[in-house]
Structure 1
Amino acid sequence: MKKLFKGRFALYFAFLTFFIIFSFTVRTLLFISACHHTDFTLFEIVKIFGIGLFFDIGTGLIIALPYALFLLFVSDKLYRKKWNKIFTPIILFIFIVITLFSFFAELTFWQEFESRFNFIAVDYLIYTYEVIHNINESYPIPLLLAAILIIAFVITYGLYKLKIFSQTFESASTKKSRSVPSITLIVFAVAFIIFVKNSWAEQGNNHYTNELSKAGTYSFFAAFKNNELNYQDFYSQVDDKMAFEIIRNQLKESNSSFINSGKSIKRIISSKNKAYKPNVITITIESLSADFLAHYGNTQHLTPFLDSSANQSVFFSNMYATGTRTVRGMEALTLCIPPTPGSSIVRRMDNEHLFTVGHVFKNQGYTNTFFYGGDGYFDNMNHFFGNNGYNIVDRGRKLLNETYDGSRTMIQDKDVTFENAWGICDEDIFNVVVKDADEKYKHHQLFNNFIMTTSNHRPYTFPANKINLAQGTREAAVRYTDYAIEKFIEKIKNKPWFENTVIVIVADHCASSAGKNEIDISKYQIPCMILNLKNTANTNINKMTSQIDVFPTLWGFIGWNYTNDFFGKNVLDSNYKPRVVLGTYQKLAYMQNDSLVILSPQRKIESYLYDKSKNEQRKANFSKEFTNKAIANYQTAYELFKNGGLKE
């Protein structure tokens, strides 16, 4: 065995050792970072580094698999040729550079998402333009690349000084002598790929422990492989008929009547309020956690305008986002549906011609428009909105063969004063919206505008001399976004169409979703307010509500009769029972009052009592009836989407 480590396989095991040491270093750095957010038991620490070592070894074996095949099949004579003495060190150097870069990427990804690589990292490979520019504006890339190259050179040179290269190239080996170790290493690597699941690291309730136990590279490929989760294959179910009976009973309102029986939630809403048709502008704010507002205890004075507006509006002070990404927020606000496992419906196949919020507005004579300061190609936003009844106005590139049911207008350079990797600043997109609204008013056209902001996103840059905080931090970006919204409202107050225009302000998701618990409820709370409603007193709705309830509640205020095919409800209806639906890519949560049920793959069901004052979740046992209600929400949502039940 000693001869093996000094023979042809010396370089193979040297690389494996390097990979394990650096993986351990990254895990340690992430562990130290996580210690600021949670306490770890001794058992959890052993798990983090024990299971982590297992995943690191397996990942290293997979990365080195091509070299193991090379060592097996290349003859001794060919292996000792001069060309190989040049080729192998170069390839090794490249692999070390790539590995070091992936380690750096893990640290930055954790900084943003407090998670190992997941579906988001896979998405970022597709949208390279935005991501590369974002990274370039957020970090000193030339210096980091130089540091990576220097470290890679030092490691490679160190192996040379340790005579690893001479040992591997000068040692003699027969096909028989190298077959056993090569085949053993290959078998272990292939077995790891086939049999080891990333979910093996997700055995406890502490999010940080689970994520730290993983290997980033392996997590990336696991996410790539499992892009969509079939609810019926992985989650607990009840009888389909029972599921729809439960959900129809839950959705029943005092002024509703179902149109169809069976597997349908379509119903007619008949309002008792006097109807009117205001223009609607929805400002969806990037990553605006509730705890940025003074209303929720923040003392940094980051959102003075939003805080004052909350007191002069219909304010949903206890609202929760359905997910942790922008496309989840868009899904909730346009489809009013619980999050189904895997990617958001915005990013799924066959997501055209769905029954959306825009569909309701269109039936009332409105023009729907989606405004985005970046390129709407990102995250499939243009395809989703453009094929679901919305026109598109974005700062994008013209793509070949793109077709939408609606029109697409690209924001011109003359309308841009500031732009970063993620798009034009919030002031600029608001100015575009004002111009568009002026034009529609001139032609007596009612409008429903959905705006997605970008300034509160890394790299957190915006026009200079607007606020008194330095650029580059989340807090500064939040302050600038508040400033931009204030200027927007001031500007439109003088417009002839303002008197008949309702403003909805809501976050897409929170700035961070990670916490000690796998699903940390407090990290989903967002602000939401409706401004300028006619004949409506300022109201603080402190019932627990979800993003999916925003528009059904708005339509209740303005007295509309309409067809409803949504899971969202008018939260002021007498039959409304406070509940929220939210989740990650795999975990799905249903909470009613303080009772929380979390559904996971492998048909796992967990039940907790949630103490909001302490932000604590403790194990509990609920009735089967309550657990079935949680299952029914997600089972029926998945069933309706996959089988076309959400189509117009």
Structure 2
Amino acid sequence: MAAAYRSAIHPAAGRNSSCICHAAGARPRKLAVSRVGYSAAVSQQVGPPMLFVPLREISVSLSSRRIPPRLGFWLLCLGIFLLLAATVRLTLTVWVEHDTPDTILSVAAVWLIGLADDGATAIVLGLPFLLGLYVLHRVLRWKTGKVLAHLLLIGLLGVTVFSAIAELFFWDEYNSRFNGIAVYYLIFPREVLGNIRESFDLHIYLPVIAAAVLVLYAVLRPHLNRALDTPVQPGEWRRSFAVAALASLLALSFLYGGPYEPVSARTTNELAVNGMHSILNAFLTNDSKYDGIYPGIDEAKAIPLLRDMVRQDNTTDLAAPGERSLRRHVDNGPMPTKKLNVVLVLEESFGSVYFEDVFEEKQRDYWKTVSPNWHRIAKDSLFFSNIYATGDRTVRALEAVFTSFPPIPGISTARRSGSEGMNSLPFLLKQFGYRTAFLYGGPTSFDNMGHFWETIGFDQVLGQGDIADRGFKTIWGVADEYMFKEALGRIDKMAAEPGPFLFACLTVSNHRPFRYPDGRIDQRPGLGFKEQAAAYADWSLGAFIDAARSKPWFDDTIFVMIGDHGPKVWGAAQIPVQAFRVPLAIYAPKHIDPARNTVLGSSMDVAPTLLGLLGLSYDSPFFGVDLRRVPPGGGRIAMAHNFDVAVGDGHNAVVLTPKGDLLPYAMQPGPFQLQPVPAKALPTLLMKQAAAQTQTAHRMFYARQYHELSENP
């Protein structure tokens, strides 16, 4: 099959060709048109050797009368697809090898697999169009049919070229081929198109895309005309379909079972996959299924393991021995005489990379220029330096921080049907008389966030439209300073009424397009536009805390500040956990002594830790724990990336994949990448705990067994 394909693409030069590029002085001599109606011309070369442009060479070859025009046009389209895919792969290879050099053999293996995947993807995606050329051949010979065919070709070329360029930008942002994140963003075209418009110089990129499309269309146009004008010959469609069907069967076999992970480095393995294949795979993946896809464990063993993981010195199990539940009573002492207010700030994309203080002095000073206010606040706070987000999207942070629920493969439960009524921090606080509100700087309709907040216990859900002063905004929402200004006014109103309150807010400025009002911060040498936006977010947070200090409610309020996730996923591990590290500061000068805590923890530990600081005893099935009660060397993390889930204990980590694999790594807390280790080096207990937590959480969610307290208060 491969030999036949190569012979179709590269027949002998000068034989049965409709057009050949001649060197100066060469004189062509046309031969007769074939009896089957194919327009063919042959040129004899006289003079200097011919010079060929690759696309032109393929174009000439496919005009041969040995290949039916429809099949020839189809093969030429596949060739262009392969050329674009190879260009993207070459660019990504340069980027990857610059960051994590591999051996020549590793790169060669990845390229061979990648070229095969490109071909398989092209064949499968292209088969419907070949079918259309034959089934609709009479319609396509009409004038209207021809016009529509040409418009379709131009549109498909535009999509293909745009996707190739978009994939490079996607990699720069997520260090990955198109994946589930790309699929989820397609649901929100307004935000995506607005983000593209505000983030990139379209006056540069659009002409480049248009020029590429016009060049490719000029190459394909005569072949499409020939395919449309030539009548279908007896037996032609059978032969063409026989070739295409056989190729498609081989392609599907490769796409389903190809060796896409020839090396241990995730980023290198990403090179082996075609971007179109990757996004289609993400689109077709059913993340509502777990059993039989991911590593599992006997439920009779899973539940006791989980209960041991969340048991602390102040907890008492309430669930029956065989019950799929972590429900327990948490005793935080006698009820406080005065309940403190809570203001919880989720900082968009503010990872620990913006708060790092473990590097050499020069680098430490560099990062302090990005986050001086965070450093100032952290110095007077209970600060946790080894906290890890549960994902790389905001909806993961909402799930973890407010429902203390671990990540399950695929999208956050905040985006899934059935999240209504999950056990949550606002629900528990309302049992103690708290009033609750959430303010988001952007539109609450995005990513189902508003609906999620409304159905887990927030009485008021406020968004961009509720902010009185929207002095500066991007497609994602108003600048942080204006959101915080609105927050101060809203908190004033809540504080004027009797009873404690929970006021949560989510910022937007530290996000592409990374634009913010002028004159707020000095342009700092050495900082890129991303770091400048992070510095503005830091300035806005500092201004908010400074303004809050003058308020009468300040002394009786706990401020919780945490990054929702890191700014970028980077690293060679299947899940690069160091990119998920975020700062957590709990600030209440009148009530909480400043301290630095290096315990390993997760963003799903925020709610139990806060409830402990508030002195509130409660019943809960939370997966998180009170970080202050974690023994030295204890703690655990969990995070999801695409359709993989990682669980770590600070010494080791394991990644669960949809292929049923458990990938073992050595782990060191901090800005350090995971290191692959032999499976036998990984503690069996951690492997069991990882499977137990992920499997049980998945089953609980779909059986609505994490909702019992909110449904039966």
Q: Specify if TM > 0.5.
A: yes
Residue type matched to 2:685 in 1? Answer: E
Q: Quick one: structure 1 residues 241 and 171, their matched pair in 2 at CA, closer, same or farther if it must change by over 3 Å?
A: same
> Which residue of structure 1 aligns with residue 315 of structure 2?
256
Structure 1 residue 383 displacement after superposition: 1.1
> Which residue of structure 2 aligns with residue 401 of structure 1?
none
* 1:310 is the counterpart of 2:378: yes
> Which residue of structure 1 aligns with residue 433 of structure 2?
365
> Which residue of structure 1 aligns with residue 389 of structure 2?
321
Structure 1 residue 535 displacement after superposition: 3.8
2:686 counterpart (611, 626, 633): 626
> Which residue of structure 1 aligns with residue 43 of structure 2?
none
Residue type matched to 1:545 in 2? Answer: G
* Aligned ranges 1:327-366 → 2 under 5 Å: 327-366=395-434
Q: Quick one: structure 1 residues 305 and 41, their matched pair in 2 at CA, closer, same or farther if it must change by over 3 Å?
A: same
Deviations 1:152-200 (A, max 9, x none): 112222345xx53565356554141232223431454477468724985
Say which SS state the counterpart of residue 662 (structure 2) adopts.
strand
* 1:597 is the counterpart of 2:654: yes
Deviations 1:99-138 (A, max 9, x none): 1111122122112111111111111111111111111001
> Which residue of structure 1 aligns with residue 587 of structure 2?
531
Structure 1 residue 66 displacement after superposition: 2.8
Say which SS state the counterpart of residue 589 (structure 1) adopts.
strand
**Counterpart contact for 1:317–1:542, Cα < 8 Å:** yes
- Alpha-carbon separation, structure 2, partners of 1:377 and 1:194: 41
Structure 1 residue 369 displacement after superposition: 1.4
* 1:456 is the counterpart of 2:510: yes
1:421 counterpart (475, 485, 488): 475
Say which SS state the counterpart of residue 628 (structure 2) adopts.
coil
> Which residue of structure 2 aligns with residue 386 of structure 1?
454
> Which residue of structure 2 aligns with residue 475 of structure 1?
531
**Counterpart contact for 2:294–2:659, Cα < 8 Å:** yes
Structure 1 window deviating more from structure 2 (584-593 vs 370-379): it is: 584-593
1:493 counterpart (545, 549, 555): 549
- Alpha-carbon separation, structure 1, partners of 2:282 and 2:332: 45
- Alpha-carbon separation, structure 1, partners of 2:119 and 2:225: 25
> Which residue of structure 2 aligns with residue 407 of structure 1?
none
Deviations 1:183-242 (A, max 9, x none): 431454477468724985245431211222111122112111114152213112221121
Structure 1 window deviating more from structure 2 (628-637 vs 415-424): it is: 628-637
Q: Quick one: structure 1 residues 4 and 126, their matched pair in 2 at CA, closer, same or farther if it must change by over 3 Å?
A: farther
- Alpha-carbon separation, structure 1, partners of 2:592 and 2:154: 68
Structure 1 window deviating more from structure 2 (486-495 vs 210-219): it is: 210-219
Residue type matched to 1:304 in 2? Answer: P
Q: Percent identity, aligned pairs only?
A: 28
Residue type matched to 2:536 in 1? Answer: Y
Structure 1 window deviating more from structure 2 (605-614 vs 421-430): it is: 605-614
Q: Quick one: structure 1 residues 616 and 624, their matched pair in 2 at CA, closer, same or farther if it must change by over 3 Å?
A: closer
Q: Quick one: structure 1 residues 67 and 319, their matched pair in 2 at CA, closer, same or farther if it must change by over 3 Å?
A: same
Structure 1 window deviating more from structure 2 (447-456 vs 196-205): it is: 196-205
Structure 1 residue 16 displacement after superposition: 1.1
- Alpha-carbon separation, structure 1, partners of 2:153 and 2:620: 60
> Which residue of structure 1 aligns with residue 48 of structure 2?
none
Q: Quick one: structure 1 residues 394 and 54, their matched pair in 2 at CA, closer, same or farther if it must change by over 3 Å?
A: farther
- Alpha-carbon separation, structure 2, partners of 1:57 and 1:392: 53
**Counterpart contact for 1:294–1:307, Cα < 8 Å:** no
* 1:100 is the counterpart of 2:161: yes
**Counterpart contact for 2:119–2:251, Cα < 8 Å:** no
2:291 counterpart (232, 248, 262): 232
- Alpha-carbon separation, structure 2, partners of 1:323 and 1:25: 31
Structure 1 residue 485 displacement after superposition: 0.5
**Counterpart contact for 1:235–1:601, Cα < 8 Å:** yes
Q: Quick one: structure 1 residues 444 and 210, their matched pair in 2 at CA, closer, same or farther if it must change by over 3 Å?
A: same
Deviations 1:218-269 (A, max 9, x none): 2112111114152213112221121001111221111111112122111111
Q: Quick one: structure 1 residues 418 and 641, their matched pair in 2 at CA, closer, same or farther if it must change by over 3 Å?
A: same
1:520 counterpart (576, 601, 604): 576
Residue type matched to 2:703 in 1? Answer: N
**Counterpart contact for 1:37–1:516, Cα < 8 Å:** no
Say which SS state the counterpart of residue 511 (structure 2) adopts.
coil
- Alpha-carbon separation, structure 1, partners of 2:257 and 2:353: 32
2:638 counterpart (581, 595, 614): 581
* 1:508 is the counterpart of 2:576: no
Q: Show structure 1 runs of 5+ residues with no match.
A: 397-409
User: TM-score of the superposition, structure 2-length normalised?
Assistant: 0.84
User: TM-score of the superposition, structure 1-length normalised?
Assistant: 0.92
1:66 counterpart (128, 132, 137): 128
Structure 1 residue 294 displacement after superposition: 4.4
Deviations 1:461-497 (A, max 9, x none): 1111001128982101110001001110111111111
**Counterpart contact for 2:382–2:585, Cα < 8 Å:** yes
**Counterpart contact for 2:635–2:650, Cα < 8 Å:** yes
Q: Quick one: structure 1 residues 287 and 175, their matched pair in 2 at CA, closer, same or farther if it must change by over 3 Å?
A: farther
Residue type matched to 2:677 in 1? Answer: K
> Which residue of structure 2 aligns with residue 10 of structure 1?
72
> Which residue of structure 2 aligns with residue 54 of structure 1?
116
> Which residue of structure 2 aligns with residue 144 of structure 1?
205
Structure 1 residue 55 displacement after superposition: 1.9
**Counterpart contact for 1:109–1:115, Cα < 8 Å:** yes
Query: How well do the aligned residues superpose, as a CA RMSD in angstroms?
Result: 2.4
Say which SS state the counterpart of residue 432 (structure 1) adopts.
helix
Count of aligned pairs between the two proteins: 631
- Alpha-carbon separation, structure 2, partners of 1:292 and 1:575: 28
**Counterpart contact for 1:118–1:223, Cα < 8 Å:** yes
User: Which structure is larger by alpha-carbon Rg, 1 or 2?
Assistant: 2
Structure 1 residue ranges (4+ consecutive) displaced by more than 4 angstroms after TM superposition: 77-87, 169-173, 190-195, 611-614
Q: Quick one: structure 1 residues 521 and 472, their matched pair in 2 at CA, closer, same or farther if it must change by over 3 Å?
A: closer
Q: Quick one: structure 1 residues 560 and 460, their matched pair in 2 at CA, closer, same or farther if it must change by over 3 Å?
A: same
Higher relative contact order (Cα pairs below 8 Å, separated by 6+ residues): 1
> Which residue of structure 1 aligns with residue 619 of structure 2?
563
> Which residue of structure 2 aligns with residue 431 of structure 1?
485
> Which residue of structure 2 aligns with residue 541 of structure 1?
597
Say which SS state the counterpart of residue 8 (structure 1) adopts.
helix
1:109 counterpart (170, 195, 200): 170
> Which residue of structure 2 aligns with residue 646 of structure 1?
706
1:201 counterpart (260, 271, 281): 260
Structure 1 window deviating more from structure 2 (418-427 vs 467-476): it is: 467-476
Q: Quick one: structure 1 residues 361 and 13, their matched pair in 2 at CA, closer, same or farther if it must change by over 3 Å?
A: same
- Alpha-carbon separation, structure 2, partners of 1:500 and 1:7: 79
Structure 1 window deviating more from structure 2 (201-210 vs 96-105): it is: 201-210
Residue type matched to 2:522 in 1? Answer: N
* 1:132 is the counterpart of 2:193: yes
Say which SS state the counterpart of residue 9 (structure 1) adopts.
helix
Say which SS state the counterpart of residue 284 (structure 1) adopts.
strand
Residue type matched to 2:190 in 1? Answer: Y
Deviations 1:33-60 (A, max 9, x none): 2223211222321233212112211222
Structure 1 residue 569 displacement after superposition: 0.7
Say which SS state the counterpart of residue 438 (structure 2) adopts.
strand
**Counterpart contact for 1:198–1:222, Cα < 8 Å:** no
> Which residue of structure 1 aligns with residue 86 of structure 2?
24
Say which SS state the counterpart of residue 583 (structure 1) adopts.
strand
**Counterpart contact for 1:198–1:214, Cα < 8 Å:** no
Residue type matched to 1:371 in 2? Answer: L
Structure 1 residue 518 displacement after superposition: 1.2
Q: Quick one: structure 1 residues 612 and 501, their matched pair in 2 at CA, closer, same or farther if it must change by over 3 Å?
A: closer
**Counterpart contact for 1:198–1:219, Cα < 8 Å:** no
Say which SS state the counterpart of residue 361 (structure 1) adopts.
helix
- Alpha-carbon separation, structure 1, partners of 2:266 and 2:500: 46
Say which SS state the counterpart of residue 35 (structure 1) adopts.
helix
